[in-house]
Amino acid sequence: MPNPIRRTVNALLRKTAAAPAGTTAPTRPCAMDAPAEIHIRFDGVGKIYPGGVQALQEQSFAIRRGSVFGIIGRSGAGKSTLLRAINMLERPTAGRVLIDDVDVGALDEDALVGLRRRIGMIFQHFNLLSAKTVRENVGLPLRVAGIGAVETRRRVEELLDLVGLADKADVHPSKLSGGQKQRVGIARALVHRPEILLCDEATSALDPETTHAILGLLRDIKAKLGLTIVLITHDMAVIRALCDEVMVLDRGRRVEHGPVWSVFGTPKGDATQALLRPLRRGLPEDIAARLLPEPPGQGGGHAVLSLRFTGESHPEGVSLASLLALAPDARLLHGGIDRIQGHAQGDLLIAVPVAAMRSAAGARFTPDSWKVLGYVADNV
C-alpha cells in the first residue's frame, strides 16, 4: 500500500542520518517496520509553559491509522497543546510524539517542515487570506513549496472539486458563507496530500446545518484519502457523528479514553459527565414539579423510573418484552435510544403503577442501571 508519509519520513531520515555529528537525528530510525495500525504515538508527553503552567501531564496513548480521534475537555484542559504537539507547533517539555514510530521532536528544522507538509490542519476561524481568491488561498502552500504554476492549478482544481467549490475558484473569501470558507480551509489543508488532518474546533463557528455538511465532507475525504483525523471540539454531536475514539482531558490529564459508544454510554469522571450533560435527556420540568418522595395514598400512584441503557448489555437494542415484563401497563414518559457505533444506548423515563412494582421485583428486567426518581399520582 502506498505510504507517502512513510516515504517522506524515510527520505528525511536518510537526510538527517547523513547530517554532521551533533545535529539532531531521529532516535529509532529502524522502527519504520512498526505495526501499521499505530499511526501516532504519545510517549510520556508533557508540557510546562514558560511561567510554570502545566498544560499537559505526562501522557502515553496511541492513535490508529485511518481512525478519527476526538479530544474533548473544558476550556484550558490542554486540548490545543496536545493537538499542536503532533506537528510540533507546541514542543512538549517531556516525552516524545512518534509518527510512524519516528520521533517528530528529534527531526531537524528542514525535516520538520517536510513532515508538517504531510499533516494538514484546519481551524475554527478558517485563517484565509482576504486579499487572495479561493484558488490563490488553496494554491499558496504549493507555491511556497516551489511547485510550478501548472501543477498547482491542476491540484487546486482537483481539490476544489473534492470540496464542492469548483465554481468559486475566482471569488474572494468575503463573498463566501462560513461553510464555504471552511471548505476552502479543508482544500488548503489537503494540498500536500497529507495522511493526517488536525482539526481545531473546525465546526465551532458554523450553524448546525453547515456543521452537518462539513462533517459529511470530512467523512467523505477520510474514506477517499485514508486520512487519520485528530480533532478537538466542544460539540459532543460532532464526536458522536464522526469519531471512532474519544479522549477526555481534564487539567492536562487523560481522564477517559475509549470507543465513543463506551465513553458516552458510561461516562465515569465528573468532567466527562459535565461535558455529556447536554446529550442526556433530563427529567422534564412538569414531571419534576409533581414528583413526590413517597407513593400517594394507599398503594396508589405510579413510581417514576429512570432506566439507563449503556449499549454494553444490549448492543442490538432494548427489548420491549423486558419492559413489559416489568409491568404490562408501564407508560413511557420521556427519553430515547440512540445508536452509536452500532450500540443502542440511551435513557427512558417510565411510570409503573406502584402496585405492579412489587410483583415486578422478580421480573426479568434488564436495563444497565435504573432508579426510582419518585412517585406521582395516577393521572400522570
- The whole-angstrom separation of Cα 279 and Cα 234 is 12
Query: Quick one: which of 81, 180, 306, 310 contacts ligand ADP (CB under 6 A)?
Result: 81
Q: In angstroms, give the least distance from the CB of 275 to ligand ADP.
A: 12
Q: Which residues contact 290 (CB under 8 A, 6 or more apart)?
A: 376, 377, 380
Told to check if 173 binds ligand ADP by CB under 6 A, we report no
Q: Closer to ligand ADP at the Cβ: 128 or 249?
A: 249
Q: Find the angle CA(265)-CA(337)-CA(79) to the nearest 5 degrees.
A: 35
Q: In angstroms, give the least distance from the CB of 195 to ligand ADP.
A: 24
Bridge partners, residue 370, by sequence: 307
Task: Name the H helices within the chain.
Answer: 4-17, 79-86, 109-116, 134-144, 149-162, 178-189, 208-225, 236-242, 260-265, 270-276, 285-290, 320-326, 354-360
DSSP collapsed to 3 states, 246-258: EEEEECCEEEEEE
Query: Quick one: which of 39, 65, 79, 155 contacts ligand ADP (CB under 6 A)?
Result: 79
Q: In angstroms, give the least distance from the CB of 233 to ligand ADP.
A: 11
Q: Closer to ligand ADP at the Cβ: 124 or 366?
A: 124
Q: Closer to ligand ADP at the Cβ: 75 or 298?
A: 75
Q: In angstroms, give the least distance from the CB of 227 to ligand ADP.
A: 22
Instruction: With H, G, I as helix, E, B as strand and everything else as coil, classify residue 20.
Output: coil
What are the φ/ψ torsions at residue 41 (nearest 5 degrees)? -125, 130
Query: Quick one: which of 29, 66, 76, 259 contacts ligand ADP (CB under 6 A)?
Result: 76
Q: Closer to ligand ADP at the Cβ: 76 or 258?
A: 76
- The whole-angstrom separation of Cα 40 and Cα 67 is 11
Query: Quick one: which of 77, 304, 327, 360 contacts ligand ADP (CB under 6 A)?
Result: 77
Query: Quick one: which of 3, 24, 80, 127 contacts ligand ADP (CB under 6 A)?
Result: 80
Rule CB under 6 A: which of 24-53 touch ligand ADP?
A: 49, 51, 53
Q: Closer to ligand ADP at the Cβ: 247 or 350?
A: 247
Q: Closer to ligand ADP at the Cβ: 61 or 370?
A: 61
Under DSSP, the state recorded for 133 is -
Under DSSP, the state recorded for 175 is G
Q: Closer to ligand ADP at the Cβ: 73 or 353?
A: 73
Cell, residue 328: 404490562
Binding segment (CB under 6 A) for ligand ADP, from list 19-27, 70-78, 107-115, 326-334: 70-78
Cell, residue 162: 473534492
Told to check if 75 binds ligand ADP by CB under 6 A, we report yes
- The whole-angstrom separation of Cα 333 and Cα 255 is 34
Task: Enumerate binding residues for ligand ADP (CB under 6 A).
Answer: 49, 51, 53, 55, 73, 75-81
